[in-house]
Structure 1
Amino acid sequence: MSRTGLGRAGEAHAARFLEAQGYVLLARNWRVREGELDIVAREGDTLAFVEVKSLRTRNYGTGEERVDARKRQRLALLAERFLAAHPDLAYRQCRFDVVVIDYTHRPAQIRLYRNAFDLNG
């Protein structure tokens, strides 16, 4: 499976998992010039910007390690763009979640990190 195919399969897997956890999906693969948000969802009154990391090897670190400071800053910028494009959602509390789909295990392991990071640290 190609890297793009793995990413898309992981995002679909994550979407099903999040819906089973009670999330309401609002957008998938939302794109602007600066990049893409994998999933935007609502959990209760909280808007969650969800980054999905799919692993088939650990040669490049864990999925959690791949959401580094540079990636967090990019996600923050994309979240701002999304909120500007959807002012009806701007009043909600927002957070950043990370879902890791680890295909190095059989069956695949799914790890969800609610409020995985904030922009202050």
Structure 2
Amino acid sequence: MLNRQQQFGKSSERLAVDYLKRRGYRILETNYRTPQGEIDIIAQEKGTIVFVEVKARSSRRFGSPKAAVTPAKQRKISMVALMYLKACDRIDARARFDVVAIDTAPGSPHIEVVKDAFNLAYG
């Protein structure tokens, strides 16, 4: 059984998937996991593979959702993205990293897609 925080995360990811679909993204994978980490959503938009990190906040107490995608998180997502591209034999594909920031405080959610939010991160 999922705790409240996990339920919030799952519902936020569902919101993000629906939002991206309405904007023309084709969802390829959700919750892609490897021993090294997870990517929330892998999609395709106009021939580009898009690795999407979803960050949601119900209050501003811990900062904005966009600020939660730290350099360490970017490195982990980059590593998993490279593993995905290699596993699918698409290592030469155009790819980018987007962040879907969801702010639910107060009232109805505000959703923002930050396209090309960060570059492939090493080290």
Query: For this structure pair, what is the TM-score category when the shorter chain's length is used for normalisation?
Result: over 0.9
Residue 117 (structure 2) pairs with residue 116 (structure 1): yes
Alignment equivalent of 1:79, drawn from 75, 78, 81: 81
Which amino acid counterpart does residue 36 of structure 2 have in structure 1? E
What is the distance in 2 between the residues matched to 1:37 and 1:103? 22
Gaps of 5+ in 2: none
Q: Where does 1:1-121 land on structure 2 (aligned, <5 Å)?
A: 2-87=4-89, 89-119=90-120
Which amino acid counterpart does residue 116 of structure 2 have in structure 1? N
How many residues in Structure 1 have an aligned counterpart in Structure 2? 119
What is the distance in 1 between the residues matched to 2:119 and 2:65? 17
Q: Deviations over 1:7-45 (max 9, x none)?
A: 100000000000000000000001011111100000011
Contact 2:41/2:53 (8 A) holds in 1: yes
What is the distance in 1 between the residues matched to 2:22 and 2:92? 25
Q: TM-score, normalised by structure 1?
A: 0.93
Gaps of 5+ in 1: none
How many Å apart are 1:61 and its aligned residue?
Answer: 1.0
How many Å apart are 1:119 and its aligned residue?
Answer: 3.2
The alignment-based identity, stated in percent, is: 33
How many Å apart are 1:72 and its aligned residue?
Answer: 0.6
Q: TM-score, normalised by structure 2?
A: 0.92
How many Å apart are 1:97 and its aligned residue?
Answer: 0.1
Contact 2:82/2:91 (8 A) holds in 1: no
How many Å apart are 1:92 and its aligned residue?
Answer: 2.0
Task: Please tell me the root mean square deviation across aligned C-alpha atoms, in Å.
Answer: 1.3
